[in-house]
Structure 1
Amino acid sequence: MDVLTISLMLAAGLLHASWHSLVKSGQNQITVLAGMGTVAGLWAVAALPFVPFPAAEIWPVLLLSVGLHIAYKLCLAGAYTRGDFGQAFPLARGMVPLFATLIAFIGLDQLPSINQCVGIVMVSSGLLLLSLEKIHRLAQWPLLLTAAAAGAAVAFYSTVDAYGTRLMGSWLGFTAWLIVLDSFAFLLLSRILRGPVLWSEFSTARWRVVVSGILGLLSFCVFLRALSRNPVGAVTTIRETSVLFAMAIGVILHREPLSSRRISGAFLILSALVVITL
């Protein structure tokens, strides 16, 4: 992987952690997710006249990806209602690199290098180390299950999106159509789940919605651009360094504890990034 890609993915990691923090701190996670998606979708609509219309073979990939993205958001909202930011976020991301690498190998015939394999295992170990505190308690198992489901959805949609960008031949075109379809499909689902109160909740959380929408849009565009040019496992692994930013945000903004286990997990993740860049 080139230095530019690594730098962009680190920036995407910071953006990713930032919008997740905004979602977690909102009064209703589904409302914030729907609102930020709508903001991103409106920006993406403006790009549609300048990108190609998807061919027939692209639509099944887009629809599958939309379903996976919606499943991720629902699982993520469930995880954030059950755990603190510094625990739920790493749990949701912990197994993504391993899942994504395995799925990309089976579905896309992408075989990572030895360094990338070592780095992927190190990142996953570090993420789990960050998040497994107090998980032995019975009350924490719903958090574990919803977070694991969110991680699996990320791994699957990462691989599907990587395939879609290659199949369409335009990463920007695939990204724009995906964001539009995903955003408005989730908005419709949120309206069904929340009822008419959704619109007043949008108004109450308007600044949180707008800022998270812009951050999420930038983060996802950078992510898909990297997926279109590099192995899925390596890209998703570097993206998971967002957990380091999330840990800092959790300590500074959410007043969450900084334990030795979380520090050790952060060191593992940083070491893994060095291994991958070599």
Structure 2
Amino acid sequence: MTLPVFAAVMFAAFLHASWNAMIKLGASKLAGMVILTLVQGAMGLAVALTRPWPEAEVWPWIAASAVCHATYNGFLALAYEQGDLSRVYPIARGAAPMAVLVVSALFLADALEPVAVAGVLVLGLGILGMARGALGSGESRRLIPYALGAAMGTAGYTLVDGLGARLSGDPVAYVGWLFVASALLFPPVALATGGRGLLRVGPRVWGQGALAAATSYGAYAIAVWAMTLAPIALVSALRETSILFAVLIGWAAFGDRMDRGKAVSAGLIVAGVALTRF
């Protein structure tokens, strides 16, 4: 992985933690996620219409990714209704790199050096350390299955989009049509389960959702672009440094507790990132 790609993925990680903090801040997490998806869809359509039309073989990948993103968005919103940013985010993001690494090693052609594999594993250990206090923290235990559901959605769309963007040859158009497809899928499902009153919110909530959408769009566009230039599992693992950013945001902005376990886990994450650079 070259230094510019590394720096871009790190910036995308910060953006990802930031938009999650915006969703957590809202009174209704599901409403915020629906607004985010709708705004992303509009942004994606504006970008996609400036690009060549994708080939027929790309559309199944876009459809599959939309399903994975809808799964991720729904479970993440439910998890944030139950727990803190610094607790939910590590669990939701933590299981994904491990799943991606296993699938990449078994079924894909991406080759990882042993030190990079070690980096992914150390990073995963730090992530698990971040999440281990969920059961004893007094938070709702329902956040755990919801966060794990979000993690499975993350693993799914990471693999699908890495391969789909490579097949398309145009990651900008791919991401644009992906968000259009997500906007057509997730909001109707959310409105059917949460009720039509879900979007009866004030201008501030819409503005917050729109800002989160722009931040999320930029973060994921960078990540998909990086996956066309570097191994998917390595990009996926490096993106999970967003957990460190999320913990710091949770501590500074939301008053989440910062104990020794979180500090040690943060150190493991930094060490894992360093190993992935060799």
TM-score range, shorter chain: over 0.9
Residues 241-270 of structure 1: CA deviation (Å, up to 9, x unaligned): 001110111011111110000000000011
Q: Distance in 1 between matches of 2:67 and 2:74?
A: 11
SS of 2:142's partner is helix
Counterparts of residues 129-168 of structure 1 (less than 5 Å): 129-135=129-135, 140-168=140-168
SS of 2:111's partner is coil
- For residue 202 of structure 1, report the CA deviation from its aligned partner: 5.9
Partner of 1:192: 192
- Name the % identity: 24
Q: Distance in 2 between matches of 1:101 and 1:168?
A: 23
Q: Summarize the Cα distance change of 1:198–1:144 in structure 2 as closer, same or farther, 3 Å threshold.
A: closer
Partner of 1:114: 114
Q: Distance in 1 between matches of 2:264 and 2:208?
A: 32
Q: Summarize the Cα distance change of 1:137–1:206 in structure 2 as closer, same or farther, 3 Å threshold.
A: closer
Question: Structure 2: 5+ residue runs without aligned partners?
Answer: none
Question: Structure 1: 5+ residue runs without aligned partners?
Answer: none
Partner of 2:81: 81
Residues 116-163 of structure 1: CA deviation (Å, up to 9, x unaligned): 100100111101101211425897542222212211211111001011
Equivalent pairs counted in the alignment come to 278
**TM-score in terms of structure 1 length:** 0.95
Amino acid at match of 1:162: G
C-alpha contact 1:9 1:222 (8 A) present in aligned 2: yes
Q: Distance in 2 between matches of 1:206 and 1:95?
A: 31
C-alpha contact 2:58 2:164 (8 A) present in aligned 1: yes
Partner of 2:28: 28
Q: Summarize the Cα distance change of 1:138–1:200 in structure 2 as closer, same or farther, 3 Å threshold.
A: closer
C-alpha contact 2:74 2:190 (8 A) present in aligned 1: no
Partner of 1:201: 201
Partner of 1:235: 235
Q: Distance in 2 between matches of 1:55 and 1:263?
A: 47
Residues 164-204 of structure 1: CA deviation (Å, up to 9, x unaligned): 01111111121111011112321222232333313322645
C-alpha contact 2:71 2:150 (8 A) present in aligned 1: yes
Residues 11-33 of structure 1: CA deviation (Å, up to 9, x unaligned): 11111000001111211111111
Amino acid at match of 2:250: G
Amino acid at match of 2:8: L
C-alpha contact 2:100 2:236 (8 A) present in aligned 1: yes
Query: Which 4+ runs in 1 deviate beyond 6 A?
Result: none
Counterparts of residues 7-46 of structure 1 (less than 5 Å): 7-46=7-46
C-alpha contact 2:234 2:276 (8 A) present in aligned 1: yes
C-alpha contact 1:86 1:250 (8 A) present in aligned 2: yes
Q: Distance in 2 between matches of 1:49 and 1:133?
A: 46
SS of 1:209's partner is helix
Q: Summarize the Cα distance change of 1:275–1:108 in structure 2 as closer, same or farther, 3 Å threshold.
A: same
